[in-house]
Amino acid sequence: MREIGVGMVGYSFMGRAHSNAYRQVSFFYPELPVKPVLKAICGRTKEAVDAAASDMGWEQAVYDFDELLERDDIGLIDINTPNNMHVPMAIKAAQAGKHVICEKPLGMTVAETEEALAAVREAGVVHMLCHNYRRAPAIWLAKEMIEAGMLGEIYHWRGHYLQDWLMDPTAPLFWRCQKEIAGSGALGDLMAHSADLALWLVGDIDSVCGSLNTFVKQRPTLTSTDGGLGGGAGTEMADVTVDDAATALVKFKCGAMGVFEVTRFAAGHKNYNFFEINGSRGSIRFNLERLNELEYFDAEDDGKTAGFKTILASDTIHPFQGLSDGGPRFWPAGHNIGYEHTFINTFADLFKGIAEGKSPNPNFEDGVKIQKVLAAVEKSSEQATWVTV
Ligand SMILES: NC(=O)c1ccc[n+]([C@@H]2O[C@H](COP(=O)([O-])OP(=O)(O)OC[C@H]3O[C@@H](n4cnc5c(N)ncnc54)[C@H](O)[C@@H]3O)[C@@H](O)[C@H]2O)c1
């Protein structure tokens, strides 16, 4: 097994999820041709980065991103910073000849994401965008069922991504509420995931009719300067410059219709990433809060016991769940997996891709497509009209 050194920037929520996945991936995927070594973690605040390196198992802490790029023992750069730094860092990494995995959304604007795609293509490096939900076994199974024709012709996509963590009007104005850092609010944060799944499962989107809303228009500024929630609220108020919620009607190129609804203001919903797809031969639906399950209705079953059935996608025959010797990759059937395993599965495909010199899906090409959908929703909301993607 070949080794590749990883250099990671950003060490908070996603930094923790990624660090965990690097530590576990070759344990659960012993067949991997390339194994990650956690070489260096990068951030701005020495004390915090030193603590993160030691807590999360990185060999070294560094405080300058360029230092990661100069090192010969680092072959993969992993970007977990706020959205405004994704593209500049990805371009620098590609130009230094490093493979890149970047958190979503790929960038702030379509033009910017296109620059990132051009840079990774020019450098010939492997690139991946961390839409980890694709690799929940139940969602990958949905893709296989659609490809096998089990839904027939697709008529409807219904994607809701509902959270409630920002409802408190006294919550401070951290980076996710600031357009110059986040690009957008629920749109780029949540609709990016939903759009990724819709594009992958149903197909390209032709046009959109969107609406964005900001319910809490001002928030207390942060006392800390690093943009994190830990700083707490100060006494000054400042404008929220992103959307709290976004909706869109969409027309797919294949003729299907779709609806998106994403919000940080749906009381009681913690991470309700839900979709339902209805086709001529049946329907499927998924909710991330029940990550191991996929519901399926077979329209050709018209017997008395017809109805949605729940598939527990945890058996060795399900995507990502089996080893080549027939044993379970993680745990025996029904001993379910969690959020962190979607990252482990994602990284396993990244390292296979690096071994083969191929960018796995979703990659920067998908990132550009997603950004075009998000930009069209934003433009549609501003102009109160349908917009072609
Ligand atoms: N795939 C997913 O399911 C998922 C979930 C959450 C977040 N995300 C994405 O991950 C990214 C990070 O989100 P998060 O929730 O981890 O945010 P966070 O606020 O928890 O962490 C951001 C990290 O970036 C660091 N940082 C901020 N500015 C920096 C700078 N100028 N230079 C270097 N480091 C800097 C912070 O210190 C912190 O470690 C975002 O783009 C977000 O959209 C993806």
For the segment 144-157, what is each residue's pLDDT rounded down to a tens digit?
999 999 999 999 99
Locate the domains of the chain by residue range. Answer: 2-132, 134-357+370-383
State the Cα–Cα distance between residues 177 and 222, nearest whole angstrom: 11
Q: Is 284 in the pocket of ligand 1 (CB under 6 A)?
A: no
**Which pLDDT belongs to residue 40?**
98
Q: Whose CA is nearest to atom 11 of ligand 1?
A: 80
**Which pLDDT belongs to residue 235?**
80
**Which pLDDT belongs to residue 223?**
79
Q: Is 328 in the pocket of ligand 1 (CB under 6 A)?
A: no
Q: Is 247 in the pocket of ligand 1 (CB under 6 A)?
A: no
- Which architecture characterizes domain 134-357+370-383 according to CATH? 2-Layer Sandwich (3.30)
Q: Is 178 in the pocket of ligand 1 (CB under 6 A)?
A: no
Q: Is 243 in the pocket of ligand 1 (CB under 6 A)?
A: no
**Which pLDDT belongs to residue 228?**
57
Closest ligand 1 atom, residue 14 Cα:
16
Whole-angstrom CA distances from 385 to 159, 188, 208 are 21, 20, 9
Q: How many angstroms separate the alpha carbon of residue 255 from the centre of ligand 1?
A: 37
**Which pLDDT belongs to residue 233?**
77
**Which pLDDT belongs to residue 187?**
98
Please name the fold of domain 2-132: Rossmann fold (3.40.50)
Closest ligand 1 atom, residue 229 Cα:
19
Ligand 1 pocket test target in 14, 339, 366 with most atoms within 8 Å of CB: 14
**Which pLDDT belongs to residue 232?**
75
- Is the pLDDT at 108 greater than 90, yes or no? yes
Q: Is 228 in the pocket of ligand 1 (CB under 6 A)?
A: yes
DSSP-based three-state secondary structure for 225: coil
pLDDT band of residue 105 (cuts 50, 70, 90) is: very high
- Is the pLDDT at 350 greater than 80, yes or no? yes
- Is the pLDDT at 2 greater than 60, yes or no? yes
State the Cα–Cα distance between residues 352 and 34, nearest whole angstrom: 7
Q: Is 78 in the pocket of ligand 1 (CB under 6 A)?
A: no
Beta bridge partner(s), residue 387: 208
Q: How many angstroms separate the alpha carbon of residue 133 from the centre of ligand 1?
A: 17
Rounded to the nearest integer, the mean pLDDT of the chain is: 96
State the Cα–Cα distance between residues 78 and 147, nearest whole angstrom: 31
Ligand 1 pocket test target in 63, 84, 100, 103 with most atoms within 8 Å of CB: 103
> Percent of the chain, pLDDT > 90?
95
Q: Is 186 in the pocket of ligand 1 (CB under 6 A)?
A: no
Q: How many angstroms separate the alpha carbon of residue 215 from the centre of ligand 1?
A: 24
Q: How many angstroms separate the alpha carbon of residue 107 from the centre of ligand 1?
A: 13
Query: Tokens in use for 151?
Result: 């839904």
Ligand 1 pocket test target in 80, 92, 270 with most atoms within 8 Å of CB: 80
Q: DSSP letter string over 43-108? A: -S-HHHHHHHHHHHT-SEEES-HHHHHH-TT--EEEE-S-GGGHHHHHHHHHHTT-EEEEPSS--S
pLDDT band of residue 97 (cuts 50, 70, 90) is: very high
**Residue range 26-80, pLDDT digits in tens:** 999 999 999 999 999 999 999 999 999 999 999 999 999 999 999 999 999 999 9
Closest ligand 1 atom, residue 48 Cα:
37
Q: Is 335 in the pocket of ligand 1 (CB under 6 A)?
A: no
pLDDT band of residue 164 (cuts 50, 70, 90) is: very high
> 206: closest CA among 172, 268, 243, 248?
248
Tell me the average pLDDT across 151-168: 98
Q: Is 85 in the pocket of ligand 1 (CB under 6 A)?
A: yes
**Which pLDDT belongs to residue 230?**
56
Neighbours of 293 (CB within 10 A): 17
**Residue range 221-257, pLDDT digits in tens:** 987 765 555 567 778 899 999 999 999 999 999 999 9
Tell me the average pLDDT across 152-173: 97
Do 262 and 46 touch, CB atoms closer than 8 A?
no
